[in-house]
Amino acid sequence: MSLEVKLPEPNKSTPLSQLLLKRRSIRRYGRGSLKLEELSQILWATYGLVDKNRRVVPSAGATYPIEVYVFVKNVENLKPGIYKYNEDKNTLILMREGDFSGDLASACLNQEWVYRAPVNIVLVAVYERTTSWYGERGFRYIYMEAGHVGQNIYLASTELNLGTVAVGAFHDEDVKRIIGLGDEYIVLYVFPIGRI
Ligand SMILES: Cc1cc2nc3c(=O)[nH]c(=O)nc-3n(C[C@H](O)[C@H](O)[C@H](O)COP(=O)(O)O)c2cc1C
């Protein structure tokens, strides 16, 4: 015998519900640049600190295997370049100067939104940080964590009236070469961000 229980109607007017209703993948962006404040807000929601030892997303054993790289093409008061987000100090560390959106887009199978976006956030993992604790099982934990991070990027962009889309189709080695990353790194996700 099966039992089916009718649930109370969800309250879809809460701030989080409103964001969830509005969230969608956006692949067409206006020409405008991003403000440094907007970029900072999104990066904090991506992988920022909530206190000394914890971040805005859950992480298996608090191992935090993900690193956040930022391809800047058009942000007010910021040189185009590839930066690493330093969560501890809320800073961006310049890795390579210049606009690499063309290289990144071709590594992403020529997805036009990657080329057009004023910013692309690239999520990269160092597997070792989690697998040294959890062995093989650590791999799935890292992918799960990337999902948490990705949803935060969607929700923060939605709140700021910016558009984003999760991009999982790319040539791993090409993206790594453009950023200048070694063998221990794995690229997980690319998120173009732009004005709607
Ligand atoms: C793991 C993953 C990989 C994805 N890769 C791409 C991609 O390479 N290019 C793209 O345009 N969209 C990509 N998407 C976005 C999906 O197409 C999109 O989320 C889906 O169509 C549902 O639409 P919505 O996000 O607007 O609800 C990806 C989504 C996920 C979760």
Local confidence band at 163 (pLDDT 50, 70, 90 cut-offs): very high
Ligand 1, residue 108: give the atom nearest the CA: 8
Instruction: Convert the pLDDT of each residue in 55-106 to its tens digit.
Output: 999 999 999 999 999 999 999 999 999 999 999 999 999 999 999 999 999 9
Q: What pLDDT was estimated at residue 103?
A: 98
Fold (CATH) for 27-195: NADH Oxidase (3.40.109)
Cα(189) to centroid(ligand 1), Å: 11
CA of 166 to the centre of ligand 1 (A): 5
pLDDT at 195: 97
Whether the predicted pLDDT of 1 surpasses 90: no
Residue with CA at minimum distance from ligand 1 atom 11: 167
DSSP per-residue letters across the chain = ----PPPPPP-TTSHHHHHHHH--------SPPBPHHHHHHHHHHHH-EEETTEESS--GGG---EEEEEEESSBTTB-SEEEEEETTTTEEEEEEES--HHHHHHHTTT-HHHHH-SEEEEEEEETHHHHHHHTTHHHHHHHHHHHHHHHHHHHHHHHTTEEE--B--S-HHHHHHHHT--TTEEEEEEEEEEE-
Best residue among 167, 187, 190 to mutate for probing ligand 1's pocket (most ligand atoms within 8 Å of CB) is 167
pTM value? 0.97
Assess whether pLDDT exceeds 90 at residue 17: yes
Measured in angstroms, how far is the CA atom of residue 78 from the centroid of ligand 1? 29
